[in-house]
């Protein structure tokens, strides 16, 4: 399951990406527009700032804004930050690898074989989509 953290983070990012100018947008505005708990969203945006996706400005007229162009942000990078591993099981994870403690041999493991395929196909989707691709047309 996709966590709400990721879901809300993606929605916030696309909302920022759909802004005409690059003026800071306040947490409250995003939260209201996307129906997200303001405090929860706050912590998500903080993560996105610390990981280099967003810039922020404090005080009146402050808020969050995209640092890079939306078309330069592959969804893959966002997913890794918000959701963590893309693989469904850590023994096939590229960035968060861990050996299964119950599995004596990965090469002959049926689950391993299957999950590598799932990882690769999912990764393809996350690579070919940028934030710009997710902005609604209207």
Partner DNA sequence: TGTATTTCCTATTAAATCTATAGGGTATTA
Partner DNA sequence: TAATACCCTATAGATTTAATAGGAAATACA
Residues lying near a second copy in the complex (CB under 8 A): 1-2, 7, 10-11, 14, 34-36, 75, 88-89, 102-104, 107-111, 113-115, 117-118, 121-122, 124-126, 129, 133-136, 138
- Span interacting with DNA, options 15-23, 57-65, 66-74, 121-129, rule CB under 7 A: 57-65
Could you tell me if 56 and 67 are in contact, meaning their C-beta atoms sit under 8 angstroms apart?
no
- Tell whether residue 90 is a contact of DNA (CB under 7 A): no
Could you tell me if 100 and 90 are in contact, meaning their C-beta atoms sit under 8 angstroms apart?
yes
In whole angstroms, the minimum distance from the beta carbon of 138 to a second copy comes to 6
In whole angstroms, the minimum distance from the beta carbon of 137 to DNA comes to 27
| Cα–Cα separations (whole angstroms), residue 121 to 83, 116, 117, 126 | 17, 9, 6, 9
Torsion angle, alpha carbons of 63, 65, 67, 72, to 10: 160
Q: Residue 31 belongs to what H/E stretch?
A: helix 27-34
In whole angstroms, the minimum distance from the beta carbon of 125 to a second copy comes to 5
- Span interacting with DNA, options 49-57, 90-98, 119-127, 129-137, rule CB under 7 A: 49-57
Smaller CB distance to DNA: residue 52 or 71? 52
With CA atoms as reference, report the closest residue to 75 among 28, 6, 24, 130: 130
Q: Reduced to 3 states, what is the DSSP secondary structure of residue 119?
A: helix
Which positions lie near DNA, rule CB under 7 A?
Answer: 1, 3-5, 8, 24, 26-28, 37, 39-40, 42-43, 45-46, 49-50, 56-64
């Amino acid at each position: 399951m996709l966590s709400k953290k990721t879901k809300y983070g993606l929605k916030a990012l696309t909302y920022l990406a759909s802004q005409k100018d690059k003026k800071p947008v306040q947490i409250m505005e995003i939260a209201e527009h996307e129906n997200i708990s303001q405090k929860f969203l706050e912590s998500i945006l903080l993560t996105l700032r610390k990981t280099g996706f967003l810039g922020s400005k404090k005080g009146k007229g402050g808020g969050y804004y995209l640092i890079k162009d939306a078309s330069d942000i592959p969804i893959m990078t966002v997913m890794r930050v918000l959701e963590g591993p893309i693989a469904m099981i850590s023994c096939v994870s590229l960035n968060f690898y861990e050996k299964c403690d119950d599995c004596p041999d990965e090469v002959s493991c049926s689950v391993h074989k299957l999950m590598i395929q799932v990882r690769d196909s999912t990764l393809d989707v996350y690579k070919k989509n940028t934030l710009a691709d997710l902005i609604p047309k209207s």
